[in-house]
Amino acid sequence: MSLKLAQLIQQAENLSAEEQLKLISHLAQKLSGITQVNPKLPQPDSTQAKEIPERGKSIWQIAEDFVKDIPEEELSKLPLDGAEQHDHYIYSTPKIEA
C-alpha cells in the first residue's frame, strides 16, 4: 500500500459512519470499471449508518448528560467560583484572593 493511500485511509477514519459508507459506495462505483465488485457483500446505504455508533461524545455532551437529571434548584446551589476555588471546596483551604 502506498504512503498516500495509507494517509487517506487515516483521514477517512475521522469521518462519520454515514460519510464513510458514502465514501465506500463512491469508491466501489469508481472501481467497478477496473475490478469486479463482489455482489455478495452488502452494499452501503443510509440505513446502515444508523447501525454503526458514532466515535464518541464531545466533553460538553458528556457534561450535559451528567447534569441533565439534576434539578435546576440543586444546580443553583453550586458555587459560581467552584473551578477557581476548588481547593477551598474540596480541602477546606482558605479561599485564594482574586
pLDDT digits (tens, 9 = 90+) for 70-85: 888 998 888 999 889 9
Q: Are 46 and 20 contacting, i.e. CB atoms less than 8 angstroms apart?
A: no
pLDDT digits (tens, 9 = 90+) for 4-52: 777 777 888 888 888 878 888 777 777 776 545 566 666 656 555 455 5
pLDDT digits (tens, 9 = 90+) for 85-98: 999 989 999 999 87
Q: pTM score > 0.85 for this model? A: no
What separation in angstroms does the CA of 17 have from each of 14, 23, 31, 46, 74? Answer: 9, 10, 21, 10, 38
How far apart CA 76 and CA 27 sit, in angstroms, is 53
Q: Which of 65, 66, 96, 69 is nearest to 83 (CA)?
A: 96
